[in-house]
Chain A
Amino acid sequence: SQQGEEDPQALSIQEGENATMNCSYKTSINNLQWYRQNSGRGLVHLILIRSNEREKHSGRLRVTLDTSKKSSSLLITASRAADTASYFCATDAAGGTSYGKLTFGQGTILTVHP
Chain B
Amino acid sequence: DTGVSQNPRHKITKRGQNVTFRCDPISEHNRLYWYRQTLGQGPEFLTYFQNEAQLEKSRLLSDRFSAERPKGSFSTLEIQRTEQGDSAMYLCASSLTLGRGSYEQYFGPGTRLTVT
List A residues at the B interface (Cβ < 8 Å).
2, 4, 30-31, 33, 35, 40-45, 48, 50, 88, 90, 92, 97-107
Contact = CB atoms under 8 A, between A and B. Distances in A.
14 contacts: A2-B41, A31-B102, A33-B104, A41-B110, A42-B4, A98-B55, A100-B31, A101-B45, A102-B33, A102-B43, A104-B43, A105-B42, A106-B42, A107-B41
Q: Which of under 10, 10 to 19, 20 to 34, or 35 or more describes the interface residues of B?
A: 20 to 34
B109 A42 contact: yes
Interface of B: 4, 31, 33, 35, 40-45, 48, 55-56, 89, 91, 93, 95, 97, 100, 102-110, 112
Contact of B56 (A50, A98, A103, A105): A98
A60 B5 CA distance: 28
